Structure 1
Amino acid sequence: MNKRYKWLVGVMVVTFTTFSCKKDLLDIKPIDFVSDVAVFQDITLTNQFVNDIYGSMLSGFERRDFGYDQDWARGFANLDMMTDDIEGHNDLPMNRVQEGDLNPNFSMGTQLWAVNYSLIRKANTLIARIDGVPTTNTALKDRLKAETKFLRAFAYADLVKSFGGVPLITTEQNATDDLEVPRNTYDECVAFIIKECDEAAAVLLPSYPDAAELGRATKGAALALKARVLLYHASPLNNPNNTLSRWDDAAKAAQQVMALAPATYDIHPDYYQLFMTKAGNKEVIFAKKFARPHRTHQSAWMLHMSFTPTGWGGWGAFHATQNLVDAFEMRTTGLRPDETGSGYDPQNPYANRDTRLDRAMLMNGSQFKGITVETFQSADLNAHPDGNANGRTNGDRTKTGYGLRKFIDDKNMTADAVYQGGDNDWIYMRYAEVLLNYAEAKNEFSGPDGTVYDALDKVRQRGGLPPLPRNFTQVALQEKIRNERRVELCFEEHRVYDVRRWKKGMTYFNGPVYRMNVIKNADGSITYTKAVLENRVYKESYNLFPIPQIERERNRKLTPNP
């Protein structure tokens, strides 16, 4: 077999999984074999109930797009496919959102609502009953209650950043109760989340010495969630009068997490290994744990869509855009390619770039498991008899010239490139985000200062970038911070919300997205040309997701978003 393969692309393979191994936090014995009464008469079973709440959290490795009309294609979805950073495979519901069709039947919104309220229901049951569990281990009981408060706050934070104000249900509900509950205001939801985070942080441990406990909520996780929620609360979408005290609150909350560094948290030195390393990874604040052989993000019926070159039978549902690639700066100057004096060579476009670019995605010339990636096309873009646009002979191959490397656990890809399923964790919160949250909030509150530059440089230095000059205006540094978030947190489902909370959707999501045409000439040379892939449509009303239609039919008191 030829050792060079064209069109190496990646797909986020996802599946829902259950828990089966008794020793691992996220591999537990099912608890549906005992009654509710028994669960809260035995602290061991109560502990397992809390573990089940962790397991019900939705992660980026498990996000399923049920809106697709073919069962074999359900399963791969990343919310950032709704942004200018990713082009999805043909005919996914995400692509219809890119075309301007975001409606109350949007399958990902329906899933977000259902999964989070399922978690909240379990959490309310635990919090209502745990005080009555007979045990002498009161410290464990207090900790489990605090963990559950954090998990409930996390679910509400996920809901409010998507939908705005939602119904605050904080007590155990019965079938005889009035289940039609109106929405609370966004500010009321934020106040509740912050209270829960503070109460959880006061009880939770900074870390767990036992490796079997990794994945549990910690003091730092509660504080980091608080900082994130306060940052959203201060942002233009939710703070139209730009009340500066909100930015100050967000900055101070982030500082509480930063105070735990470097003893508890720090930046991992390698951007790719950050997402593969479990033990001793000080950058991870909170993550969903996966462990072989039972807990992998693999779908057996989707192996042909896994992280493999098309020459080995894989096909791509995930294509990074040229828009995102252009956000990665030059190592020599610290400037984006489009900035004057950057030193960018359009015919050698990946030379001297931020090293996170090569660790996040695959491009022409990348090295991947001993293979040189080739994404070039025929010089005659219209010569192919299948009529496929842009000279691509297979519509499943990369549409942009880029594939995914970040998150690909390549150690589990066999010699014949059959993907065996990754068991790396999905990271919900990490220290780099906290530093970026602080830099943004502090700059918005009082402008650039040494602490803002230091936080940014600590994140940027991993990409080999030079220190920032200490001469930015507040507005110029705001743009730098926003670009840094885009690069550092790419594909981690931040941009879909960042651009909305900044109220910049009409700027970034309503216009063209670009691809890189890579042409191999007759003499073997390569020509690179940036070209429009498609034009996207966005509406100001899309800054919040629509309340799912099915939920409004169940609950007549739910009012729609504008």
Structure 2
Amino acid sequence: MNLKVNTLKNIKLHLFVLVLATIGLLPSCQKGLGLNPKDKISDENLWKNQELVLLYTNNFYSQMRSGFNSTIGSTWLLSSITDDAMVPSTSSQARTVYANPSYTAASSPMNSIFSSRYSYIRRANLYLANIDQVPGDPALNKRLKAEVRFLRAYYYYDLVSFFGGVPIITKAQEYDEDLFLPRNTLDECYDFIEAELDLAANELPAKYPASDLGRITKQAAWALKCRIQMMREHWEQAALTAQTIISMGEHNLLSDYTAVFTSRNNNEVLLAVQHNDRYDELGTQFDKYTFSPYYGGQGNNCPTQNLVDAYQMKATGKEISDPTSGYDPTQPYLGRDPRFYATILYDGVAFKSRIMQMYTGGEDITVNTIAGITADKITPTGYYLKKFTNENYNPNGDPNGRSGYNWPLIRYAEILLNYAESKNEASGPDATVYEAVNKVRQRAGMPKLDESFSQADMRTAIRHERRIELAFEDFRYWDIKRWKLGPALLTNITNPIRKVTITKNAQTGQKSYAYSNVTGYPRLFEDKHYLFPIPQVELDKPGSKLEQNPGWK
């Protein structure tokens, strides 16, 4: 059994749910199932059947967080609460809850992350306690155990990213017992995650046969470990971990940047959340909610002028603010970094067999109630998102609105940039740092970096490269937090969201471009927002030993 989308057609995903619902792994869940004994697969019987265990293992993969469904099942990307993008609807949580934080410990939408992750951690604990006794191929048991060990570490990685230090639970326990554990320190959590990833990597293969594409490899385990080390600013260790992956030679950069996101299970991707374009548990609604309303979309995830301005000129590799860059303000979209064209839909670009019109009065930004184009679907910035979208998808022709490519959780370009950042922070920009960054830039068709950079210059260059190369892949939000730049980049006072207004001369067709701040979009970031609050419902339970994060009491 594998996770490859084409093969999943034969798996019948509802069987995953059946196995999960009927084995009765959690005492608190058993009481509410309403199943009589002959309908239920007992714990004892599950661990006697390797095929059932394999199905159950696959279910753990379903909890890897896909950016297409954001962090809480929403239809906007995490980038839409950064300076890279925004959503048009004034009632969207991306604007009312996140960008202008109005949530509390009782109402935070991330509360569901806390409970869902611990639900699967408890299941993983029981799994790890029983997998060794399963009859069948011992090598398969060993590998499956390593996969679930990785996934448990991934769940903890998610928890510490959102909440900081959390209780470390490693044994199969009654649900009520777990509520009364105190929080471990952040360093204790980091140490635990790194150790678990090392154990998993030791038992995971470097590659799989075609029948098992999509499963976790040792490179994925090391990549997640590298992220943890970077969060800790353990730069030398992070550089060594990234170098280990690079030296293995199992992955490479695709020659075509766009193909990374439109071809499933390609060799640049170390780990992905598997999706398909059917109306089932593996489908997403990304295209439906991202396309311009002219195509029947909702216009979410609109790139900002801030991001557009960050794309350098292709010929010179210089910022557009540099008078020697070659930038022409009368043709602002000409000659830019090729990743701009793969990522952003702008006025005058050909898309879905027509030329997009983002000028005043143009079809993509003008209310047309007959066509279903309402104000809450029109881009507030003058741009729509192209990256990850399927140009052949027709929201109007699909009442269910299911679409989507795989979501890349880890890819090789990240590993190269992780190495470059870590090595530069550890000891400055040596030849290997330039080589790693230049590989990413040259794949995109950009010039090499100037080889006279100071450590600070290289830091700026690497942060720029992460923003551009990894745009809309959920890195910007976490990078800003990791770099402790929230107050500088996520508030209107210091970094207002910018838009373009384009006017077209009816007689000559000449266009003019005016830039201004988006209004009616308050953005705030205080120090307490580096972490989300521990859910109030957990703090209020009798006997709870959990303590709230600073600023949220």
TM range (shorter): 0.7 to 0.9
The CA deviation at 1:48 is: 1.0
* 1:46 pairs with 2:53: yes
In structure 1, distance between residues paired with 2:311 and 2:247: 29
Give SS of 1:528's match: strand
Give SS of 2:203's match: coil
Amino acid at match of 2:497: V
The more displaced of 529-538 and 395-404 is 529-538
In structure 2, distance between residues paired with 1:310 and 1:470: 45
Q: Considering Cα pairs closer than 8 Å and 6+ residues apart, tell me whether 1 or 2 has the greater RCO.
A: 1
In structure 2, distance between residues paired with 1:134 and 1:26: 25
The CA deviation at 1:515 is: 0.7
The more displaced of 123-132 and 529-538 is 529-538
In structure 1, distance between residues paired with 2:238 and 2:220: 15
Q: Which of 431, 439, 443 is matched with 2:420 structurally? A: 439
Give SS of 1:375's match: coil
* 1:372 pairs with 2:355: yes
In structure 1, distance between residues paired with 2:80 and 2:374: 24
Structure 1 residues 404 and 419, CA, compared in 2 at 3 Å: closer, same or farther?
Answer: farther
Amino acid at match of 2:85: I
The CA deviation at 1:396 is: 1.9
Q: Which of 533, 536, 541 is matched with 1:546 structurally? A: 533
Amino acid at match of 1:286: L
* 1:55 pairs with 2:41: no
Which residue of structure 1 aligns with residue 35 of structure 2? none
Which residue of structure 2 aligns with residue 306 of structure 1? 289
Structure 1 residues 437 and 384, CA, compared in 2 at 3 Å: closer, same or farther?
Answer: closer
Which residue of structure 1 aligns with residue 131 of structure 2? 130
Which residue of structure 2 aligns with residue 349 of structure 1? 332
The CA deviation at 1:296 is: 4.0
In structure 1, distance between residues paired with 2:377 and 2:157: 36
In structure 2, distance between residues paired with 1:436 and 1:253: 12
Give SS of 2:177's match: coil
Structure 1 residues 510 and 178, CA, compared in 2 at 3 Å: closer, same or farther?
Answer: closer
What RMSD, in angstroms, separates the aligned Cα atoms of the two structures?
Answer: 2.7
The more displaced of 543-552 and 214-223 is 543-552
The CA deviation at 1:458 is: 0.8
Q: Which of 450, 454, 457 is matched with 2:435 structurally? A: 454
In structure 1, distance between residues paired with 2:80 and 2:401: 24
Amino acid at match of 1:428: L
The CA deviation at 1:26 is: 10
| Superposed counterparts of 1:20-419, under 5 Å | 21-23=9-11, 28=16, 30-31=18-19, 32-33=21-22, 34-63=41-70, 65=72, 75-88=74-87, 89-96=89-96, 97-105=98-106, 107-135=108-136, 137-175=137-175, 177=177, 179-211=179-211, 213-234=212-233, 246-261=234-249, 264-279=250-265, 281-293=266-278, 294-298=280-284, 305-378=288-361, 394-413=375-394
User: TM-score by structure 1 length?
Assistant: 0.85
In structure 1, distance between residues paired with 2:489 and 2:178: 42
- Are the aligned partners of 1:412 and 1:421 in contact in 2 as well (CA < 8 Å)? no
Which residue of structure 2 aligns with residue 522 of structure 1? 506
In structure 1, distance between residues paired with 2:133 and 2:213: 27
Structure 1 residues 215 and 481, CA, compared in 2 at 3 Å: closer, same or farther?
Answer: same
- After superposition, the C-alpha distances for 1:15-38 in whole angstroms (9 at most, x for unaligned) are xx9x97444899857313422222
In structure 1, distance between residues paired with 2:281 and 2:190: 33
The more displaced of 36-45 and 540-549 is 540-549
The CA deviation at 1:418 is: 7.1
* 1:467 pairs with 2:452: no
The CA deviation at 1:378 is: 4.4
In structure 1, distance between residues paired with 2:465 and 2:447: 13
- Are the aligned partners of 2:290 and 2:384 in contact in 1 as well (CA < 8 Å)? no
Structure 2 portions without partners, runs of 5+: 23-40
In structure 1, distance between residues paired with 2:77 and 2:18: 28
Which residue of structure 1 aligns with residue 36 of structure 2? none
Structure 1 residues 552 and 520, CA, compared in 2 at 3 Å: closer, same or farther?
Answer: farther
Count of aligned residue pairs for this structure pair: 510
Structure 1 residues 459 and 54, CA, compared in 2 at 3 Å: closer, same or farther?
Answer: same
* 1:493 pairs with 2:471: no
In structure 1, distance between residues paired with 2:377 and 2:17: 40
- Are the aligned partners of 2:197 and 2:225 in contact in 1 as well (CA < 8 Å)? yes
Give SS of 1:427's match: strand
- Are the aligned partners of 1:25 and 1:215 in contact in 2 as well (CA < 8 Å)? no
* 1:557 pairs with 2:542: no
- After superposition, the C-alpha distances for 1:389-411 in whole angstroms (9 at most, x for unaligned) are xxx97342111011111111233
- Are the aligned partners of 1:20 and 1:29 in contact in 2 as well (CA < 8 Å)? no
Give SS of 2:271's match: strand
Amino acid at match of 1:310: P
- Are the aligned partners of 2:425 and 2:455 in contact in 1 as well (CA < 8 Å)? yes
Structure 1 portions without partners, runs of 5+: 1-16, 67-74, 235-245, 387-391
The CA deviation at 1:230 is: 0.6
In structure 1, distance between residues paired with 2:109 and 2:457: 35
Structure 1 residues 106 and 335, CA, compared in 2 at 3 Å: closer, same or farther?
Answer: farther
- After superposition, the C-alpha distances for 1:360-390 in whole angstroms (9 at most, x for unaligned) are 12111122121211111149xxx9999xxxx
In structure 2, distance between residues paired with 1:24 and 1:259: 38
| Superposed counterparts of 1:472-487, under 5 Å | 472-487=453-468
Greater helix content: 2
The CA deviation at 1:98 is: 1.5
